[in-house]
Amino acid sequence: MSRRYQPNIIITGTPGCGKSSHAVSLVSQLGDSYTHLPVSDLAKERDCIDSYDEVLATSVVDEDKLLDSLEIDLEKGGAIVDWHCCDIFPERLIDLVVVLRTDTSLLYDRLSKRDYKNNKIQENLDCEIMEVILNDARESYIPEIVIELTSNSVEEMDENVDRINGWIENWCKDHPEGVTNVLDPELAAKYKKQQEEDSDEELD
């Protein structure tokens, strides 16, 4: 049975929140057992671009093809996934989801410096205000593995990286024999129950 001995971590959030900076800093501390997976770059390198959105000036990714491409990397373990989307990755292969949050005033400045179009900036600001990515993460994974961290400064980034590094150390201590890459039936049942409870609350 396929097993991994290092955890897979998604670092996600609205564009401009510092995902890549966090991922690069984290991997530089962790060493060769961990790999930074900058998904936007890998989608291009692995020919997973489906089309181009002229309105938002962004590539549209073929998510099925992308996931097929990344599954081998994830099964090895030690993947630090860096992308603005998190809900396409199978729960059985993800151990921690870090959602970075940034004040919209700072986010606006960061995206403006990237020469984003005004409509693209506004869409991303709306996404941050509405907590779209955070909600996607909470709906796609059990609550215990989703954490929200503020990313407004270099100091906060350093604190976040130290916190994630500490979490990894604890994970490795708690899983000396690794974990299976097959979805744990108990975990699946727990997640399904949580989803049903959330649905009942929405109906009420």
114 annotated binding-site participant: yes
20 annotated binding-site participant: yes
| Helix (H) or strand (E) segment spanning residue 160 | helix 154-174
Half-sphere exposure of 103 (CA within 13 A, CB side): 6
19 annotated binding-site participant: yes
What radius of gyration do the chain's Cα atoms show? 17
Q: How far is CA 200 from CA 43, 111, 146, 165, in A?
A: 37, 38, 22, 37
- What count of residues does the chain have? 204
Q: Please, what sign has the CA dihedral across residues 39, 45, 50, 56?
A: positive
18 annotated binding-site participant: yes
Question: Which residues participate in the annotated binding site?
Answer: 16, 18-21, 114
Question: Which residues participate in the annotated binding site for ATP?
Answer: 16, 18-21, 114
